[in-house]
Amino acid sequence: MHIDMPIRRRRPLSLTSLIDVIFLLLLFFMLSSTFVRFAEVEIAGGVASRTAGSQTPDVLIRLDDDGWQVNGLSLDADMAVTELKRLEEQDASSAVLLVRGEVSSQELVSAVERIRRETSLSLSVAR
């Protein structure tokens, strides 16, 4: 005798486990990702007494609490960059940035970035 098996109806797939996994992934990516865009500024040089002696720099820039000094001239930031461009046209190729006083790292890096951007002097920093 031939007996028909009853047709089993498929139950819809449970979504709970799917949501669990997706929630986990979401949490992971929310907590571990960052939206900060990073950048790098290279710093050449170091403590003055140890790096000097290889060659004398063409331009000496001093950065202190009162502002910039380029080869002894006290200037504000814009004037200093103009002066650096002028010196560069007169075949200056290397510059040393000296830091004095209470200058913060932010100011130092901003200055280095600006000089790199607007001139092509090879720049090193010293204390």
Q: Which is nearer to another protein, 8 or 50 (CB)?
A: 50
Strand, coil or helix: 70: strand
**At residue 122, what are phi and psi to the nearest 5 degrees?**
-85, 120
At its nearest, how many Å lie between another protein and the CB of residue 68?
A: 13
Q: How far is the CB of 2 from another protein (least distance, A)?
A: 41
Q: How far apart are CA 91 and CA 118, in angstroms?
A: 16
Amino acid at position 23, single letter: F
**Shortest separation between residue 26's beta carbon and another protein, angstroms:** 5
In the complex, the residues that contact another protein under the rule CB under 8 A are 15-16, 18-19, 22-23, 25-26, 29-30, 32-47, 50-51, 63, 99-100, 102-110, 113, 117, 125-127
CB 121, min distance to another protein, A:
16
Which of 34, 90 has the CB closer to another protein? 34
Closest CA relative to residue 82, chosen from 52, 121, 127, 118: 118
Cα–Cα distances (Å) from 115 to 2, 18, 25, 51, 94, in that order, read 93, 55, 44, 20, 12
Q: Measured from the CB atom, is 45 or 75 closer to another protein? A: 45
